[in-house]
Structure formats: C-alpha cells, structure tokens
Amino acid sequence: MKQVFVTGGSGFVGQHLISMLIENGYKVKALARSTQAIQKVQKQGAIAIKGDLNDAQALAEGAKECSTIFHLAASVDFFASEKKLKKLHVESTELLLSVAKNANIKKFVYLSAASVIMNGRAIVNADETFESDNIIDGYSRTKLQAEKLVLGANTETFQTIALRPPMIWGKDDANTLAGIIDAVKKGNMQFIDGGRHRFVTCHVLNVCHALILADQSQHSGGKAYFLTDGETPVFKDFIKKYVATQGITVPDKEVSLAMAKRVASTMEFIWKTFRLKGHPPLYKGLVNALGMEFITIDKKAIQELGYKPIVSIAQGLNMMKN
C-alpha cells in the first residue's frame, strides 16, 4: 500500500483529497496543528501528525516511509501582505522540500494557484508560458515564489509538480462561498461591470483528481499545470447559482470596474493606515481576482497528466443542494 503525507489536510481541499486517496487505496498521514484539525483528518481516514509547517521534527515524522508529499497548506488571502504570508508559503515550503529530500521522497506535488499570472488586466486563454508583469497581491506573489522553489528542486530522483487551479469551489467551501454570502447579508455584494465577464473555475473533486494524477504521472516533473472545470461560465451567472444552492439570492447590484478600483484603493489605504481588523468590503486583490475576465487553458494537464474533469459545473451545483 502506497503511503503519502499531506499538509493542509484539515482544509477544504485537504479533507476531500484524503478521502479520495483512501478510496484509491493509499495510506495517508496528514499534518495537523490543533485538536480540531486532528479530528478532521482522522475522520477522513488519515493518520494525524501533530505539528505545524515550521516544525521540522513533525514534518520529518510525516514524511517518514512515504513516497509522495502533497503540499496543500496555504492561506488564501488576497488582502494579506507579502511579508505576512512569506513565512507560511515560502519559508515553510523551503523547509518541507529539505525534509522531503532527506526522507528520500520520490514525488512532491504542490498546490499552487492560477492567480500567480494575474496582472490587473483581463487574461484570456493563457497557458503555462504566460507570466505576469504585475502581481499586485501578497498571496499570489508568495505562491509563485513557493512554486518556483518547488519546480527548481526537481531532479531525476525527486520529481516535483505544481498544479494551478483557479477558484476552487464545491460542497463545504468555507472560503469563497462563505465570503460571498457574508457580503450579500451585509449589503456589500456588487457585480463589477455587471459580472458579465467569463472566468474559469475548478471543482474541489476535480482538483483532488488532478493531484492524484500528478502523483501517478510518469513525466519527468519540474512543471506547472493549469486546471479548470473545462467550462467558461459568465461570472454573474455562476455566482448566483452557486449561492442559490444555499438558499441565498444575490441582488442585481453592480459597480463599474473603474469605480471598483478607486473604492478598493481607498478602502485598502484606510484599513492599513488605521490598522483596522479584518478585511475591507473591497480591496485591490479582490477586484483583480473576481472583477475581470480570467481564462486559462488546461491543455497541458490533459495531454501530460491525463487530466479530465470528473465533475461538471452542473453536477457540482447539484451536489451542493444535497
């Protein structure tokens, strides 16, 4: 039985990945830093390794006798500063790579993000050769830095792969979905430019399917791959249907892109100047992530990893209702 080590196992993607790995005959160890996290990973069938990403001893215990590491742990926060996120995303990845090599891990699969190519403008049909000339948020900057560390560590005996999903969605999504519902309830939800732009998404089960394919891939490694649901829905249409699965109706309020950018800059300045807690209703990273057309191509993942979405958008929305 193949044994693997998962970081971020108590998170949205991590819990689904552990479950899918178990179903596919894997033995799973998962890093968990709290009692609640331990309970979550154990519930999915994993062996909990108590510790955090800065604990070299815990990481070594997790990596011991494993063939693959799935590195999922991250803070999906488009408002946090690069300085705040660097320790979690970059320094911890560097430590985990070192631990992996010492443990003779054969494959290192990193969950990156499609936002590492965002540049404050509309992006259409971008493949893995596309590079941003203006990453404006700390989350995407540090995810790209970590991704480069991972891919740069690739050798013949230590294969590394990075997967770049766009907005991950699905049942039990406590990040994007919860954020939209909260904005609706507070009266802050407005569609930028009417939400008429198209974008790409990736259902959580499609992400997990791709992660397992990456582990099973016979390619040499050292590459990044975009993932999508294979569809390009209109932003407003998708969001309204997504939130409707929870019995919430999103009002048809909208704001121009130019105004959204001005308001975001002002709010961000106020929050940071006065060190206000939480996130402002609108900020530059959010406008960049949700306010413009963003379409990536997953052709390389299809050709090289054998990736094909196992859940369509319609199926995923239907699953949300049950």
DSSP 8-state assignment for residue 302: I
Query: What is the model's pTM?
Result: 0.97
Q: Which DSSP string corresponds to 130-185?
A: ---S---SHHHHHHHHHHHHHHHT--SSSEEEEEE-SEEE-TT--SHHHHHHHHHH
Query: Are the CB atoms for 32 and 61 separated by under 8 Å?
Result: no
Name beta bridge partners: 69: 5, 108
Tokens found for residue 169 = 């969605």
Active-site positions read: 139
Instruction: Go through the domains of the chain in sequence order and give each one's CATH number.
Output: 3-172+202-227+295-310 (3.40.50.720)
pLDDT tens string, the chain, 322 residues long: the values are 899 999 999 999 999 999 999 999 999 999 999 999 999 999 999 999 999 999 999 999 999 999 999 999 999 999 999 999 999 999 999 999 999 999 999 999 999 999 999 999 999 999 999 999 999 999 999 999 999 999 999 999 999 999 999 999 999 998 889 999 999 999 999 999 999 999 999 999 999 999 999 999 998 899 999 999 999 999 999 999 999 999 999 999 999 999 999 999 999 999 999 999 999 999 999 999 999 999 999 999 999 999 999 999 999 999 998 6
